[in-house]
Amino acid sequence: MTFATMVSQLAQGLLVSIEIFLLTLVGSLPLGLLVAFGRMSKFRPLRLVVQVYISIMRGTPLVLQLMVVYFGPAMLFGWSIPRFSAVILGMILNYAAYFAEIYRGGIESMPVGQYEAAEVLGYTKSQTFLKIILPQVFKRILPSVTNEVITLVKDTSLAYVVSVMEMFTLAKKIASSQTTLMPFVIAGVFYYIFNLVVAVIMERMERRLSYYR
C-alpha cells in the first residue's frame, strides 16, 4: 500500500472521527444542562439518581461504557444496536455527565446578587436564567469546556472497541495488514491537526466573550 493510499484511507476514517466528535457535542452539551438541573433539583430522589449516574460515568473507563452500551443490550435482551449509534449514545451519556458538572460549577459560582437584581426588576425565573445567568455561566465555564472538547477529540479513538471504522480503528487495521507503524504516525498527525483547529475555534469563542468581565 502506498503512502498516499494510507493517507487517503485514514482521511476517510478522520471524517468518521469528526462525525463522532460533532454528534457527541451536539447531544451532550444540551443533555449536560438537563443533567445539571437534575443534579441541582430540589427533588431529592431525582438528585440522588443523577448523582449516581454522574459518578458511574466519571468513575469507570469510557471504553468499558462503550462496550456495555453495544454488547449489553445484545447479551441481555438480544437487541442489536448499530455500532455507530452505540458509540454515539455511549459518548453522549459520558460527556453529558462531565459537562453537567461543569455547568453546575458555573451556575453555582454565580453571585446571588445577579438573581436578586433580576428578581426585583421583575424578570421571571426563566428570563433570569436565560438572559442573565446562562450567558455569564457560558463565559465562566468556557475554559473547562475547552479542556473537555480537546479530550473528546482523542476519545473518539475509543470507538475501536466496537470496531467503528473511525481513524484509529482503520490505523490499527492497516498497521496489522501492512506490518508497519506508519498509519499510527499519520493518524497521530491528523489528531494533532484536528485539535489545533478545535483549539483555534475555542480561543475565538473566548475572545468573542471577552468584551466584558
Closest to 9 measured CA to CA, from 163, 196, 182, 155 = 182
**Minimum Å distance from CB 75 to another protein?**
50
CA-CA distance, 39 to 44, in Å (whole number)? 9
**Minimum Å distance from CB 199 to another protein?**
24
**Minimum Å distance from CB 103 to another protein?**
17
Residue whose CB is less far from another protein, 83 or 140 = 140
Residue whose CB is less far from another protein, 127 or 151 = 127
Residue whose CB is less far from another protein, 89 or 118 = 118
In the complex, the residues that contact another protein under the rule CB under 8 A are 111, 113-114, 116-117, 119-123, 127, 131-132, 135-136, 139, 211-213
Please state the φ and ψ torsions of residue 175, each to the nearest 5 degrees: -60, -40
DSSP letter string, 84-146: HHHHHHHHHHHHHHHHHHHHHHHHHTS-HHHHHHHHHHT--HHHIIIIIIHHHHHHHHHHHHH
**Minimum Å distance from CB 189 to another protein?**
39
Neighbouring C-beta atoms of residue 179, cutoff 10 Å: 7
Residue whose CB is less far from another protein, 83 or 139 = 139
